């Protein structure tokens, strides 16, 4: 019979159980989406960790500096890999690794990258929900008779299969379409497709565009077509 967990391994589930949902109660007015701020996450986690004798430290494992060209000039950019270690008072610990990426015209790129890494390390480690009922792809079907099947014209090509799985992921074709739109939009607003993709990933709360669900494709198109890098950076500074 195995002995019961002690130290950090006993404390972490208690911390998780003590943390409630953290809703997306902040609004990015420039780009039209809701989000959870760093302070919202810290406030939700701090008391639960202290009550269970847990604290954390972090260190940078590796980092890369660079610049991005925007219509307002060159902007410092940083991508860093952090190790976040959760400690217990008995000396036991458990660590996670997470990336943080940010850019800023001033001197806050490093701070923003660290804050982004810490925020998502806490969200993912303690599985902090938003409190929303469910994803839109799982919404109940409307009552009543089913809608008639759409008829395909006789001379049209049959629909091509996608690689999207049963969970409703965006297909490769849709992802390529989004990249094409970003590459088209970028020179018009003085930025790069990679920069737009970074902001899109932040908005959709995904690690890569391949993680986008199909219901996000249309909002992503609207986001790209209306993308304003200056407004995105200003909103980013206000949310740090």
User: What are 88-118's pLDDT values in tens digits?
Assistant: 999 999 999 999 888 877 777 888 888 889 9
Query: Using CA atoms, how far apart are residues 225 and 60, in angstroms rounded to an integer?
Result: 36
Q: Let me know whether 57 and 103 are in one domain.
A: yes
Query: Tokens representing 128?
Result: 């902090």
Angle between helical axes of 193-204 and 217-225 (0-180°, round to 10) = 130
Secondary structure class of 70 (helix, strand, coil): strand
Q: Let me know whether 97 and 12 are in one domain.
A: yes
The total number of structural domains in the chain stands at: 2
Residue 33 lies in a domain: yes
Q: Is the predicted pLDDT of residue 151 greater than 60, yes or no?
A: no
Residue 134 lies in a domain: no
Q: Let me know whether 24 and 86 are in one domain.
A: yes
Residue in the structure block whose two tokens are 């976040």:
84
Weakest mean pLDDT among 36-45, 56-65, 157-166, 176-185: 157-166
Weakest mean pLDDT among 118-127, 146-155, 174-183: 146-155
Q: Is the predicted pLDDT of residue 195 greater than 50, yes or no?
A: yes
Q: How far is C-alpha 219 from the chain's CA centre?
A: 15
Q: Let me know whether 83 and 173 are in one domain.
A: no
Q: Is the predicted pLDDT of residue 166 greater than 70, yes or no?
A: no
| Confidence (pLDDT) at 94 | 96
CA-closest candidate to residue 47, choices 27, 23, 26, 17? 17
Q: Let me know whether 118 and 187 are in one domain.
A: no
Average confidence score pLDDT of the chain: 79
**DSSP character for 206?**
-
CATH number of the domain at 60, please.
Answer: 3.30.390.80
Q: Which of 126, 148, 176 is the last residue of a domain?
A: 126
Per-residue exposure over 92-119, b if at least 16 CB sit within 10 Å of its own CB, e if not: eebebebbbbbbbbeebbbebbbbbbbb
Sequence-ordered alpha helix ranges (H) in the chain: 7-18, 38-51, 109-126, 172-185, 193-204, 217-225, 229-238
Does the pTM of the predicted model rise above 0.75?
A: no
- Considering 104-113, 175-184, 189-198, 231-240, the range whose residues carry the highest mean pLDDT is 175-184
Q: Let me know whether 17 and 122 are in one domain.
A: yes
| Confidence (pLDDT) at 158 | 36
Higher-confidence residue of 161 and 122: namely: 122
Residue in the structure block whose two tokens are 């198109």:
221
């Amino acid at each position: 019979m195995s002995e019961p967990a002690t130290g950090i391994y006993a404390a972490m589930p208690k911390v998780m159980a003590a943390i409630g949902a953290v809703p997306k109660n902040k609004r990015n007015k420039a780009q039209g989406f809701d989000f959870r701020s760093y302070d919202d996450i810290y406030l939700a986690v701090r008391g639960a960790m202290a009550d269970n004798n847990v604290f954390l430290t972090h260190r940078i494992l590796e980092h890369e500096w660079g610049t991005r060209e925007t219509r307002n000039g060159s902007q410092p950019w940083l991508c860093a890999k952090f190790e976040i270690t959760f400690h217990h008072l008995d000396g036991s610990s458990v660590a996670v690794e997470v990336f943080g990426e940010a850019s800023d015209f001033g001197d806050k790129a490093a701070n923003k990258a660290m804050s982004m890494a810490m925020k998502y390390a806490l969200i993912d480690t303690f599985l902090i929900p938003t409190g929303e009922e469910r994803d839109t792809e799982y919404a109940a079907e409307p009552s009543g008779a089913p809608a008639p099947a759409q008829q395909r014209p006789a001379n049209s090509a049959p629909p091509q299969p996608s690689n999207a799985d049963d969970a409703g992921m965006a297909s490769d074709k849709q992802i390529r379409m989004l990249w094409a739109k970003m590459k088209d939009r970028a020179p018009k607003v003085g930025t790069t497709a990679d920069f737009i993709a970074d902001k899109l990933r932040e908005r959709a709360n995904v690690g890569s565009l391949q993680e986008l669900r199909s219901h996000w494709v249309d909002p992503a198109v609207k986001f790209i077509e209306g993308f304003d890098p200056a407004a995105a950076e200003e909103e980013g500074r206000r949310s740090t």
